[in-house]
Amino acid sequence: GCWVMLIQLPIFIALYRAILVDVELRQAPLFTESIRFCSNLVAPDMFFYWSDYVWTTISCGYGMFGLGPYFNLLPVLTIAIFIIQQKIMMPPALDDQARMQQNMMKFMMVFMGFLFFKVPSGLCLYFIMSSLWGLLERKFMPKADNFELSEEGVIDMRVQNGKAYSNVETLKKEGFFARLSKKMEEFQKAVEERDAQRERQMREERKLKKRGR
């Protein structure tokens, strides 16, 4: 379950080193130099000074839990977007092993939050924009149906939009026109049932009239 995150670590390290050695990003602000937030894309974003509100071990300590004297907003946003992206893109857990792997991935995301807290703000901006682009692309681009094969090689299950389907015929893209067509079919079926019931009532009334004569 953690291999996906571990495979991405070399990419994170390479981007981290690339931003640190880039001369053009040094002292380059995101907005203006008068604003402390993201005033240096090679350094953490320094959203606000929080040493007066947290323990000294956190603000002045060393290691993973020594987060520094400033609260950095962009790493928190990065991890939050990663969690949302993971929740949207990962297929639903169909067994206990898949659930355990997804829980492990969530734990790794929290662990990465501590590692990301003091990275350069430019790196966080890169991951935020790339993740948002991936989410928008998944939202608006046409999606291919996901499916699984049984041992006989027959499609017996498909997964779409976080739901598992065992009947292939019921798996359709439920867009606006599909929902509208479905509503029209339901309405037409209800009208036909009402007409059939009215016709049965009229037949019963005719039979009663004949018996009365």
Residues 30-73 pLDDT 10s: 777 777 788 888 888 888 888 888 887 777 766 667 788 888 89
Domain assignment of residue 175, yes or no: no
Indicate the number of domains in the chain.
1
Domain assignment of residue 190, yes or no: no
> CA-to-CA distance for 79 and 109, rounded, in angstroms?
7
What stretch of H or E contains 127?
Answer: helix 121-140
Going 62 to 65 to 66 to 67, the CA torsion angle's sign is positive
Domain assignment of residue 53, yes or no: yes
> CA-to-CA distance for 143 and 163, rounded, in angstroms?
15
Domain assignment of residue 101, yes or no: yes
3-state secondary structure of 22: coil
Domain assignment of residue 21, yes or no: yes
Label residue 149 by pLDDT band (50, 70, 90): very low
Query: Is pLDDT of 81 > 50?
Result: yes
The confidence score (pLDDT) of residue 112 equals 80
Domain assignment of residue 33, yes or no: yes
Residues 6+ apart with CB under 8 A from 23: none
| Host domain of residue 134 | 3-141
User: Which of 147, 182, 153, 145 shows the shortest CA–CA distance to 166?
Assistant: 147
41 contacts 121 by C-beta, under 8 angstroms: yes
Domain assignment of residue 29, yes or no: yes
Domain assignment of residue 163, yes or no: no
Reported pTM = 0.53
118: left (phi over 0), alpha (psi -120 to 50) or beta: alpha
